[in-house]
Chains A and B, each alone.
Chain A
Amino acid sequence: MSIFVDENTKVIVQGLTGNQGRFHGLRNRDYGTKIVAGVTPGKAGTDVDGIPIFDSVKEAAAATGATASFIVVPPRFAADAIIEAAAAGIAFVVCITEFIPAKDEAMVASVLRRNYPGTRLLGPNCPGIISPGRCNIGITSGDIALAGGPVGIVSRSGTLTYQALYELSQKGVGQTTCVGIGGDPVPGTNFIDCLAAFEADPETKAVLMIGEIGGEEEEKAAAFIKEHVTKPVVAYIAGVTAPPGRKMGHAGAIVSGGHGTAQGKMDALREAGVVVALNPTEAGDRMVEIVERL
């Protein structure tokens, strides 16, 4: 099994007619993902390499039975796109868009919580989700993933998500699902959501978690692992050497007033029984050792 998506998941791409949408949408289809429609207002009736385009998510979903959406639109249209997908009854929305204003993200979170509790948002500003051999929604290069489990990956950082997949695949260790939750101020899906899903998934035997400095999501995840996760967890926290007070790219990645340090997060995770590695390669090595003992 995989979490959130599987080989039957039907996906529409909001923004399929754009440059990035076309490149990644078609690449997801080539991987085997059921990309069944695209949505671009005003372009209904056209197609992108045989994939039909609709004016709205509602029409696309009604015509195809899609339950997931992949959003690849510019920041100023992203909040409306997410809400449109939720309003059309889409259960799983992946938004890769970077640089969405924090106020828009907070508004989206509030609208989803109140009006569309049945919709799970992944992202924004995330690489997406891949269940190797079954489904790939987002911008991850499918050839770096390896099917057959037994490891679930959850990561707050985009490129480190790829690095994590790569480290395991190179060593012959497959993945059940790899989820990039993104580093934005208001992520739709967080570490705990993924840890709970991996804990419940019988195919997943161990979890690799990639965090980074800033905020307190890793500390909360540590508390959750201590109470609720019985499977082994390996973690790496990026930014051990980051200077305090400087924003390292992600809005979330900042050490301020002694809070959000890599050290504090690593201590909390170790205390929860997590194996903490000092770089992505070491995290891969530790996970291989664990998988060999399973």
Chain B
Amino acid sequence: MDLFEYQGKDFFARYGVPTSSGVLVRDPQAAVDAAAEVGFPAVIKAQVQVGGRGKAGGVKLVHNDAEALEVATAILGMDIKGHTVHKVWVEHASDIAKEYYVSFTLDRGVKQYLCLLSSEGGVEIEEVAKTHPDAIARVHIDPLEGLTDAEAERVVAEAGIDEPARVGVAKVLMQLYQAFVEGDADLVEVNPLIIKTDGKVHALDAKVTLDDSASYRHPEWEAYRADMELDGREALARSKGLNYIGLDGTVGIIANGAGLAMATLDVVSQVGGRAANFLDLGGGAGADAMANALEVINTDEKVQAVFINIFGGITRCDEVAKGIQEALDRVNLTFPMVIRLDGTNAKEGHEILQGLLSDQIRVEKTMVGAAAVAVELAKKGER
């Protein structure tokens, strides 16, 4: 789960990482009141889950009520790379002496955590890596050892952090590391991490991705989840435990397993069609998951045909077939379906499907063959 900046700052605060306090608002007048409350000069920041909002005009400094109203009116409702701004964060402008960059993530190849610290912040780290590679210190952290104070101090020196800021930056590194590990984050990134003119070190931004698999040990994440902005159908799918991503084609896709779902998208594209969605039922999906998936796709008016591509492993084909039957009983499905079913309990699954076959429900033997039929039906567009 990717957090909004304001959520990331709340997350940081739990682990003692210093950030600016501020106010989250949803309309321009509230932004004016918030700016007065935090004190001018204030910064109004668009809350969107996409990078480059500064360049897009989504972060602005304001000095008085009139400016705050004008800026908040402009930013709220703005489109930033396809994301509509529904919320802005208002905080007091910090007196910045110097900007740095820091992040913690998992280096999959090395199977250890990776900390990146740079004395050049406020710009894209990929750019710094190209132009001033010496300004970036990288350190791998063995999960069993953790980040020690001595190591944090060494990294700070290696990155060329200015002398007066070193103690403060090392301390923030330790706090961020704690947030990363205990907070079960896949990524924590601060750009910029600033030293203020009063010498204090402070996270001016917060980019945090939480590990969804660790949700069970973080009941406090529920509040973050409740604030997520999802496309209506994505929210519906999530509430039913399905892994769904909306796309813009006409062929609805249901598959089990992320890899097979991706391959299904690929094959549909190769036979001349376009997928309306990615939908992975997940491992061990029962009849209910299949019925829910069909229900979710049924709400997508773009969909002209659905391709159900199942290869049973832990998922059992008879359960899948029962789910299709259940969905037909429960919902008025208005699109044709092409089904391809192989693997665990495929024979039992096909026996159930035999009783359902009609113009609306067809079975094909191969993945490519089924894709071709589904694309052809979608092109007819008779739904």
Contacts and interface: CB of A to CB of B under 8 A. Distances in A.
B311 A127 contact: no
B197 interface: no
Q: Give the most central of B245, B258, B267: most A CB within 10 Å.
A: B258
A248 B344 contact: no
B283 interface: yes
Contacts of A99: 212-213
Interface stretch (B8-16, B105-113, B165-173): B105-113
Contact of A248 (B261, B312, B314): B261
Interface string A138-166: 01110010000000000111111111001
A103 B259 contact: no
A213 interface: yes
A158 B342 contact: no
B313 A279 contact: no
B245 A110 contact: no
B265 A242 contact: yes
Contacts of A241: 262, 265-266, 268-269, 275
Interface residues of B, number: 54
Contacts of A160: 257, 259-260, 263
A279 B311 contact: no
Nearest to A109: B111
Given A110-B143, A141-B313, A248-B278, A215 B108 contact: yes
B357 interface: no
Nearest to B346: A141
Given A158-B283, A159-B311, A248-B261, A101 B214 contact: yes
Contacts of A199: none
Interface class of chain B by DSSP: mixed
B270 interface: yes
A281 B367 contact: yes
Interface string B112-152: 11000000000000100000000000000011100000000
Contacts of A98: 282-283
B211 A107 contact: no
Interface string A85-114: 000000000001011111100110111011
B346 to A, nearest CB: 8
A243 interface: yes
Interface stretch (A1-9, A33-41, A52-60, A250-258): A250-258
A183 interface: yes
Contacts of B247: 243
B260 A159 contact: yes
B258 A253 contact: yes
B111 A279 contact: no
A141 B111 contact: no
Given A250-B258, A279-B368, A102 B278 contact: no
A246 interface: yes
A103 B323 CA distance: 35
B106 A162 contact: no
B362 to A, nearest CB: 19
Interface string B223-267: 000000000000000000001010100000001111111110111
Contact of B142 (A103, A110, A236): A110
Contact of A162 (B258, B266, B283, B343): B343
Contact of A106 (B111, B263, B268): B111
The number of chain A residues touching the other chain, given as a range, is 35 or more
B284 interface: yes
Q: Give the most central of B257, B259, B266, B284: most A CB within 10 Å.
A: B259
Contacts of B214: 101-103
B284 A20 contact: yes
A129 B284 CA distance: 18
B181 A183 contact: no
A111 B144 CA distance: 7
A249 B143 contact: no
A157 B181 contact: no
B190 to A, nearest CB: 18
20 contacts: A101-B211, A101-B214, A141-B346, A158-B257, A159-B255, A162-B342, A162-B343, A163-B367, A166-B311, A166-B343, A185-B186, A186-B111, A210-B259, A212-B259, A238-B260, A241-B275, A242-B262, A246-B245, A278-B270, A279-B367
Given A249-B278, A253-B258, 6 more contacts: A106-B143, A238-B262, A240-B266, A241-B269, A279-B266, A280-B263
Interface of A: 20, 24, 75-76, 96, 98-103, 106-107, 109-111, 113-114, 127, 139-141, 144, 155-163, 166, 183, 185-186, 210, 212-213, 215-217, 220, 236, 238-243, 246, 248-253, 257, 278-281
7 smallest CB-CB distances across A and B, nearest first, come from: A157-B259, A249-B258, A159-B257, A159-B260, A101-B214, A160-B259, A238-B262
